[in-house]
Chain A
């Protein structure tokens, strides 16, 4: 078991003691989360463990009743998804949040369309379709996702994996600090899941940390550095991938097993600490 000394790296994203109640239901009961630069942090947990609520709080889609969120050590109050996005946090939602009838370029720039320079842009709010198409082709090309002539294709005519690719590309293009992915492989087949996992690794290699919410243990173990186990609204453990087996992870998740004594949920990811 690797026991790291006190971490020397500052977490890029930190959540402390988040609480969210819906009437009698407590979705988050003092949840913590720590994400270090350059890592892939998997968040696992049973249904109702508060994974979605935790992620929504981090992406600004819900406002926690208590607790604080820090980005680069600075406390942030997210009142809407816009706030989180301007802090550099991008989210790929499970249902993708795409406009299916719009084309790929329109979806990539949804909500932050590029305007024409000059008074046509800020006065008439005219769009710069040409630049958006060009940028889309470049972004998708960088991720190895598309050939250029398809930028004008409606998203609904794409396969599930390709749609996921558009959503991931959007996050990768704008997410300067953190990218959160909620069940990105849940609706995909084996081959397409593999592509998405490759994309996650690619984003990590570009230096952007990823939070991956997933039910799929093989996927989690393939790509994650550390595994955050969420149970009954809080983090009950966060372990190095190398320190745990898939079976133990599932036992932790379901409460069949308690976390190892003396484990440090704030420990640096082993892969990065070794350097």
Chain B
């Protein structure tokens, strides 16, 4: 493991008059004094989770004041978690894609398509629930593989590639399901398991919410601690530079799309549990909500910077706003309005903080 050596040979002594060391040695932390705004900008650049965390805390405080203790009741907190679990899970997949400077418009379609696959196989073909679930995950992987192949091998821009597959997967989903809903009474328990609850502090918590939180932790760990994670960031940051640095960028991209497909299939499993049935028309709005969660969470649409924990915060912010505004009796349209404002503010902040790199 001795591949690193800055001294291939003995360095000859420098002539005494050579000022090299003095001239070259330079401290990087000597910055000119900056204004308050400049300091905020620099902090946000160094700690991208600062913004979304502040918004989430602020929102919680405001709604607690507006709505009262009902808002922080364990039952309501559990409800918020259940409401955001699907967006959260799909948001993980979306984060991975966006970190590579891509975007995936087909995530929700993949999710719903896989629910139809597992539902049909288990309820109608009579396959064991485990087998049906594994085939659903494999279907998600295959969908991701198709997206990845289009982006890498055929060089279709991700936006267009996934816009195309969005239609394809939606059509396949309707064809496979015959536009029919599969009811809970014919579905095996395993497929409904994410909707089952256990109790913490007297509040029911679904296994699905727990699975989502664990997934966030796992993916955050992988992104930070493994070579694969490092390469995802590098490819999104500077694809050509990554290639010249010896990273097999095509392989990284392809693997990201496949993993995203699998995660969407897991989200499909959560969806069955949440809805309590398999419907080809469920999961409406999840596509754009996942992108919204990623962006509010501070991940840059230009790739290479961001964090999956930001997406968790983003999903929670969406959930808290929607829940809080509902409890406060505000017209549902104002929720949509607020989400729009949040997205624009988040992207604006991203553009602003990126200017630190002067």
Contact = CB atoms under 8 A, between A and B. Distances in A.
B29 A198 contact: no
A169 B230 CA distance: 20
B245 A110 contact: yes
B185 interface: no
9 contacts: A81-B246, A110-B234, A110-B241, A110-B247, A111-B242, A147-B29, A172-B6, A199-B24, A207-B9
Contact of A97 (B9, B21, B244): B244
B240 interface: yes
A260 interface: no
B25 A102 contact: no
B244 A99 contact: no
B305 A97 contact: no
Interface of A: 61, 80-82, 85, 91, 93, 95-102, 106, 110-115, 117, 124-127, 129, 135, 138-139, 142-147, 149-150, 153-154, 156-158, 162, 169, 172-174, 176, 194-195, 198-199, 201-202, 205-208
Contact of A154 (B10, B243, B357): B357
Contact of A202 (B20, B27, B231, B247): B20
A201 B8 CA distance: 14
A153 B42 CA distance: 12
What secondary structure prevails in chain B residues at the interface with A?
loop
Contacts of B35: none
Contact of A125 (B9, B228, B242, B304): B228
Contacts of A96: 241
A150 B3 contact: no
A138 B6 contact: yes
Contacts of B227: 113, 115, 125, 127
B9 A150 contact: no
A135 B237 CA distance: 23
B23 A195 contact: yes
A105 to B, nearest CB: 11
Contacts of B29: 147, 149-150, 153
Contacts of B237: 99-102
A201 B245 CA distance: 24
B233 A101 contact: yes
A146 B25 CA distance: 6
B6 A142 contact: yes
Given A99-B304, A126-B226, A127-B227, 14 more contacts: A80-B246, A95-B241, A98-B238, A99-B242, A110-B241, A112-B3, A114-B4, A117-B1, A147-B28, A154-B45, A157-B357, A173-B4, A206-B8, A206-B10
Given A97-B238, A101-B304, A147-B29, A208 B8 contact: yes
B20 A85 contact: no
A98 B241 contact: yes
A98 B6 CA distance: 19
Contacts of B28: 146-147, 150, 153, 158, 162
Contact of A126 (B225, B233, B245, B246): B225
